Structure 1
Amino acid sequence: MLKVNNIDVFYGNIHALKEVSLEVNEGEIVTLIGANGAGKSTLLKTLSGLLKPKKGEVLYQTQQIGGKPAQAIVKVGISHVPEGRRVFSTMSVEENLELGAYLRTDREEIKKDIANVYGLFPILGERRKQPSGTLSGGEQQMLAMGRALMAKPKLLLLDEPSMGLAPLIVKQIFEIIKMVNEKGTTVLLVEQNANMALSIANRAYVIETGKIVLSGTAKELQESEQVKAAYLGGL
């Protein structure tokens, strides 16, 4: 579904991604793990059109999308849930969800999909008229995911969904990621909580200082001594 071939990405003079290659097959959950500043968020921003690769290609269903504007990438079926959630804090929960569907014109289907999001995240249904800035961190994460799902993505890019959340909420968020995947959405998950990410993923990549240094099935990486020492607390 997604194939990244040898991309280089720069922030000014900083070489943030160095010849990164990876692929995501339809129906998978693929996770990218790595320390802070390793290039994980940079990769997702490049895939969603917020950054342009200097070199290499990004193929989505064989179509070259590297460097295309973000709205064109949403249109082909890729949605990005950014790090830090980025909800529109003065707008209500429901208005945030409606914004997620801004490229769509099928009004009745949009209503149905909002109802589906409330089915997935019942707490959002209870808070539908509330300004989203008044929600807890976990509720804002649910809203950010719900908003991304309103674009009807085939591929969902999730950036650090567990960041700053209580363990119980993290467990809930990961169960919902699995549910979204089982309903047919492919997921590329960037996550510092390597234990949780590997527990739900099919395959995984490890990124260090802008380079992919390891890849394999999630089980292989869970059992790798290198990964255990660096990311799994030596477990």
Structure 2
Amino acid sequence: MLKVNGIDVFYGAIQALFSVSLEVQKGEIVTLIGANGAGKSTLLKTISGLIRPRTGSIHFEDIDITKKSSMEIVKLGISHVPEGRRVFPEMTVLENLELGAYLRKDKQGIKEDLKKVFERFPRLYERKNQLAGTLSGGEQQMLAIGRALMSKPKLLLLDEPSMGLAPILVTEIFKIIKEINSQGTTILLIEQNAHMALSIADRAYVIETGKIVLSGNAREIAANPEVKKAYLGG
């Protein structure tokens, strides 16, 4: 479904990603783990068209998206939930969700998907007319995921969904991620909580200083002594 092939990414003269390749198959949850500053967010931004790679290519469902705009990439079926949630604080919950569907023309479908988001996140329904900036961190994360789902993505890119959340909410968010996946959405997940990420993923990649150093079945990666020592506190 998604093929990233040998991309090099630079910020000015500084190289952030070095010949990075990864694949995500339809229906999978794939997680990318690594320390802060390893290049995880840069990779997601490059896939979603916010940053251009200098070399290499990115294909989604056999379409070359390397040079496509973010808008074209969303139209093709990739949605990105950025690190730090990035909801629009001065807009209501409902307005944020409607914005997620801004490229869609199917009014009835939008209505139905809005209903599904509210069923999945009852707290958002309770606060639909509240300004997004007044929500708690967990509610903002739910809103960011709900907004992304409103574009009907085939592939959902999640950047640090559990960041800054209380442990009970982390468990809830991961349960929701599994549910979204079980209903047909493929997921590429970046997460500092490596233990939680590996527990729900099918496959995993480990990135260190801009290079993929390890990949494989999530359970095998979780059992790897070096991964345990570096990321799982073992």
- Hey, what does 1:203 align to over in structure 2? 203
- Hey, what does 1:119 align to over in structure 2? 119
| Alpha-carbon offset, residue 109 of structure 1 | 1.1
Provide the secondary structure at the position in 1 that maps to 2:152. coil
Q: Deviations over 1:90-137 (max 9, x none)?
A: 100000000000000111111111110001111000000000000000
| Alpha-carbon offset, residue 68 of structure 1 | 1.3
Does residue 185 of the first structure (1) align with residue 224 of the second (2)? Answer: no
What is the rounded CA distance, in whole Å, between the counterparts of 1:119 and 1:198 in structure 2?
27
| Alpha-carbon offset, residue 5 of structure 1 | 0.5
Which residue identity lines up with residue 152 of structure 2 in the other structure? K
What is the rounded CA distance, in whole Å, between the counterparts of 2:106 and 2:60 in structure 1?
25
What is the rounded CA distance, in whole Å, between the counterparts of 1:24 and 1:2 in structure 2?
5
Which residue identity lines up with residue 27 of structure 2 in the other structure? G
Conservation of the 8 A alpha-carbon contact between 1:51 and 1:67: no
Aligned length: 234
What is the rounded CA distance, in whole Å, between the counterparts of 1:119 and 1:181 in structure 2?
16
Does residue 80 of the first structure (1) align with residue 72 of the second (2)? Answer: no
In structure 1, stretches of 5+ residues that fail to align are none
Provide the secondary structure at the position in 1 that maps to 2:199. helix
Which residue identity lines up with residue 192 of structure 2 in the other structure? Q
TM-score by length of 1: 0.99
What is the rounded CA distance, in whole Å, between the counterparts of 2:44 and 2:116 in structure 1?
26
In structure 2, stretches of 5+ residues that fail to align are none
| Alpha-carbon offset, residue 153 of structure 1 | 0.2
What is the rounded CA distance, in whole Å, between the counterparts of 2:112 and 2:88 in structure 1?
22
- Hey, what does 2:160 align to over in structure 1? 160
What is the rounded CA distance, in whole Å, between the counterparts of 2:67 and 2:167 in structure 1?
37
Provide the secondary structure at the position in 1 that maps to 2:179. helix
- Hey, what does 2:91 align to over in structure 1? 91
